[in-house]
Amino acid sequence: MGESAHNLLLAIAWGLLLVFTGLAVVGVIALVGIRAARQATSRRRQRDRGAIRSRIVAAIVDEGDAAAEADRELMALRGTAWDHAEAAVIAMLPKVRGDAQERLRTVLRTRGTEQRALAQARSLRAFVRCKGAFALGVLRSTDAVDRLIVLLDDRSALVRRVAVRSLGQIGDARAVEPLLALAARDLGLTRDIVFALHEIGLSGAPALRAAVGSWQPDFRADDRPAALAASALGMIQDVDASLVLADAVLRGPIALRLAAAKALGHLDTPLSLAPLQAALRAPSHQVRVAAAASLGRLGAEVAIPALVDVMRSTDSATARAAADALMELGPAGRAALESSGAPHAIEALALHRLRSG
């Protein structure tokens, strides 16, 4: 091995050692520095925001003149004090109920928060767009619905999520179709879209019914708008949807049948019973379980023979769901369980006795 090669290797080794040691030292300094900075920031925030927070709490809990005075104090804040107050009110508003919620919204609107939020919703920075969309939802700004619908196509998943939730909070039926369309192309927002459709409520029911009725025979598992619409119809208890859901639970693809079986359990109408009893014989055990649970929730005594029959199923989940449903049906259901002797019947009765003391 030549002297020059040896020297080169030695130089590389020294260089790497210096670089790695330097990186480790820089890392340690950054670690300690960031922690120290965070401690200082946390102390300063506590000091600055303590007083503002107490004014906001006063605006929330006080009533009459005291509440009006607290509102006036908030309106009078200027500069960074107002910035802190605005951020705190926006963060707290979703948890505030009743009169105080609308008063705080009025304070925000009067101070121009809505315009600033609309401007933020157009920002180039995703996090700022999120903040804007979130504020527009909190303010229930109907003027912002179109802008929020545009944000459903945002390149940032977080912005899309916040826009979905804000559209739900605003509760405008114009958002239903765009939300269902989003469900078809964004598989990661199911829960948020269901939340939004639930929040929009009965005003969105016609569009939801149309979506459930529009399923195609070549339905794929990922084509979820119809299934989501069915779930939402159950949650908003749209009794007028019973026919379209009954059709879906009997003839639809599995994901739609499952959603429809669950939804029918929330519709207090006799029209739900026959399709749910038929669904107890569905090929999918998930659909059978959902149908049994729905029949129990509806208190459908007429379904007792069918449920007793299902309780003999070899599939434990189905049998247990049938036994639980029978327990929900009151004395008649319990009598059926007692005369059954099936293991799941014995289990359901034992648990009932235990929990009822």
Partner 1 sequence: MTGDFTTIFVIAVTVGFAAYSLVINSSFVILTVLATVASVREARRAEFAGFDETFAEPNPIGVSIVMPAHNEAASIVASVQAMRSLRYPEFEVIVVDDGSTDGTAALLVDTYDMVEAPLVVSDSVPVLGPVVNTYVSPRGDTSLVLVRKANGGKADALNAGLNVARKELVCMVDADSLLDPEALLHVTRPFADDPVHVVAAGGVVRVANGSIVSNGRVIKARMPRRILPTIQVVEYVRAFLIGRAGWSQAGGLLIISGAFGVFRTSAVHEVGGLATDCIGEDAELVVRLHRHIGDTRDSARVVFVPEPVAWTEVPEDFGTLARQRRRWHRGLTEVYSRHKSMMFRPRYGFIGMVTLPWFWLFELMAPVVELVGLVYFGAVMTRWGLEHYGVAQTDLVQGWVVVLLFACATSYAIAVSVFALLSDELSFGRYSSITDQLRAVAGALGEHLGYRQLTAWWRMQGMVAALRGSKAVWGDMKRHGFDDEGPTGGR
Binding-site ranges for partner 1 (CB under 8 A): 1, 6, 9-10, 13-14, 16-17, 20-21, 23-24, 27-28, 30-32, 34-36, 38-39, 94-95, 127, 130, 134, 158, 161-162, 165, 187-192, 194-195, 198, 221-222, 224, 231, 234-235, 255, 262, 266, 286, 316-317, 319-320, 343-344, 346-347, 350-351, 354-355, 357
String of DSSP letters for 229-285: HHHHHHHTT-GGGHHHHHHHHHHS-HHHHHHHHHHHTT--SGGGHHHHHHHTT-SSH
Q: What is the CA radius of gyration of the chain?
A: 29
Question: How far is it, in rounded angstroms, from Cα 104 to Cα 68?
Answer: 11
Please tell me whether residue 188 adopts helix, strand or coil conformation. coil
Distance between the two ends of the chain, CA-based, in angstroms? 87
**Which residue, 94 or 305, is less far from partner 1 as judged by CB?**
94
Question: How far is it, in rounded angstroms, from Cα 236 to Cα 245?
Answer: 13
**Which residue, 70 or 253, is less far from partner 1 as judged by CB?**
253
Pair 248, 209: CB distance under 8 Å? no
**Which residue, 107 or 232, is less far from partner 1 as judged by CB?**
232
CB of 280 to partner 1, least distance (A): 19
Torsion on CA atoms 153, 154, 159, 165, rounded to nearest 10 = -10
**Which residue, 67 or 87, is less far from partner 1 as judged by CB?**
87
CB of 119 to partner 1, least distance (A): 19
CB of 234 to partner 1, least distance (A): 8
**Which residue, 85 or 255, is less far from partner 1 as judged by CB?**
255
Question: How far is it, in rounded angstroms, from Cα 205 to Cα 192?
Answer: 18
CB of 62 to partner 1, least distance (A): 24
Question: How far is it, in rounded angstroms, from Cα 63 to Cα 113?
Answer: 24
**Which residue, 176 or 227, is less far from partner 1 as judged by CB?**
227
CB of 325 to partner 1, least distance (A): 14
String of DSSP letters for 283-335: SSHHHHHHHHHHHHHHT-GGGHHHHHHHTT-S-HHHHHHHHHHHHHTTHHHHH
CB of 347 to partner 1, least distance (A): 5
CB of 339 to partner 1, least distance (A): 17
**Which residue, 69 or 269, is less far from partner 1 as judged by CB?**
269
CB of 50 to partner 1, least distance (A): 19
**Which residue, 82 or 195, is less far from partner 1 as judged by CB?**
195
| 338 backbone dihedrals φ, ψ, rounded to 5° | -65, -35
